[in-house]
C-alpha cells in the first residue's frame, strides 16, 4: 500500500510537470503583480484545503525561505468568531463570501482551493470577489467543477483523488511563495 501511494503521487507529479507549468507561471505572475501593486491576497478552502489556505497565508505574512518584507496574505479560515457567526446567521455557504465582502478590495487576489471545484462556500466567494473587482485564482482537481466558469485562472490538478490533489495544491502554494521570495 505504501509503495502504491508513493508511486501514485510520483505519477501525478509527472503529469503536473508535463501539463501545468504554464498555468503555474501565470498564477505566480498574478500573485506577484497583485502584491507589487500593494494589494493583498485572501485565501480560503475547506478541510485539508483550509489548512493549505492557512499554510500559504502564513508564509506570505511570516516567511517562506528568504528573509524578505512581510506580505499581506490572509486566510479566511481562522477567525472562529466570524466563521461561526456568519454560518449561524447566514448559513455555511456564506462563510467565505461574507468575509471577502468585508475584507476584499478592487485589485486584491482571492485564491479559492477546492479539490472538487464544487464547494458552494468557495463558489460564492469567487462570485463576491469578482463583484468587487478582485483577481481570482482557483486551485482545483477532477474536471475543475463549477469553479471553471467563476475564476480568472483555475488550475486543475489532473486527478480524481482528493488526497493526491491536495498534495499538488500545497506544492503549487509553495511555488507561489517561492515566486514572492524571488521578487520581494
Ligand X SMILES: O=C(CO)[C@@H](O)[C@H](O)[C@H](O)[C@H](O)COP(=O)(O)O
CA proximity to 27, closest of 176, 165, 130, 157: 176
Among the listed residues 27, 46, 57, 123, the single contact to ligand X using CB under 6 A: 46
Phi, psi of 22 (to 5 degrees): -65, -45
Q: Which of these segments, 40-48, 75-83, 86-94, 101-109, binds Zn ion (CB under 5 A)?
A: 40-48
CA-to-CA dists, residue 50 to 5, 17, 112, 182, angstroms: 23, 25, 10, 26
116 binds ligand X (CB under 6 A): yes
Using CB under 6 A as the binding rule, the residues of this chain from 53 to 112 that contact ligand X are none
The verdict on whether residue 166 carries a ligand-binding annotation is: yes
Residue 162 interacts with ligand X (CB under 6 A)? yes
Stretch near ligand X under the rule CB under 6 A, chosen from 2-10, 30-38, 131-139, 161-169:
161-169
Q: List C-alpha distances in Å: 152 to 13, 55, 84, 149.
A: 24, 23, 29, 8
Q: Choose among ligand X, Zn ion, none what residue 54 binds, the Cβ cut-off being 5 to 8 Å by kind.
A: none
Reference 110, options 17, 181, 31, 5; nearest CA is 31
Q: Is 118 annotated as a binding residue?
A: no
Q: Which residues contact 134 (CB under 8 A, 6 or more apart)?
A: 42, 100, 104, 105, 106, 107, 108, 109, 110
Which CB, 35 or 122, lies closer to ligand X? 122
Smaller CB distance to ligand X: residue 116 or 124? 116
Q: Smaller CB distance to Zn ion: residue 170 or 175?
A: 170
Residues in contact with ligand X by the rule CB under 6 A? 46-49, 114-116, 119, 162-163, 166
Amino acid at each position: 500500500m505504501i509503495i502504491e501511494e508513493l508511486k501514485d503521487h510520483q505519477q501525478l507529479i509527472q503529469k503536473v510537470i508535463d501539463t501545468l507549468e504554464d498555468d503555474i507561471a501565470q498564477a505566480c505572475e498574478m500573485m506577484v503583480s497583485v502584491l507589487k501593486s500593494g494589494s493583498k491576497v485572501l485565501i480560503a478552502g475547506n478541510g485539508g484545503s483550509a489548512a493549505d489556505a492557512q499554510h500559504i497565508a502564513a508564509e506570505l505574512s511570516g516567511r517562506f525561505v528568504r528573509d524578505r518584507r512581510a506580505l499581506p496574505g490572509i486566510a479566511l479560515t481562522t477567525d472562529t468568531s466570524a466563521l461561526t457567526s456568519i454560518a449561524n446567521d447566514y448559513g455555511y455557504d456564506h462563510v467565505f463570501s461574507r468575509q471577502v465582502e468585508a475584507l476584499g478590495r478592487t485589485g486584491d487576489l482571492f485564491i479559492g482551493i477546492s479539490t472538487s471545484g464544487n464547494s458552494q462556500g468557495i463558489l460564492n466567494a469567487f462570485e463576491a470577489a469578482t463583484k468587487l473587482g478582485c483577481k481570482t485564482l482557483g486551485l482545483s482537481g477532477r474536471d475543475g467543477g463549477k469553479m471553471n466558469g467563476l475564476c480568472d485562472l483555475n488550475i486543475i490538478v489532473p486527478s480524481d483523488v482528493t488526497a493526491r490533489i491536495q498534495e499538488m495544491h500545497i506544492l503549487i502554494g509553495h511555488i507561489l511563495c517561492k515566486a514572492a521570495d524571488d521578487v520581494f
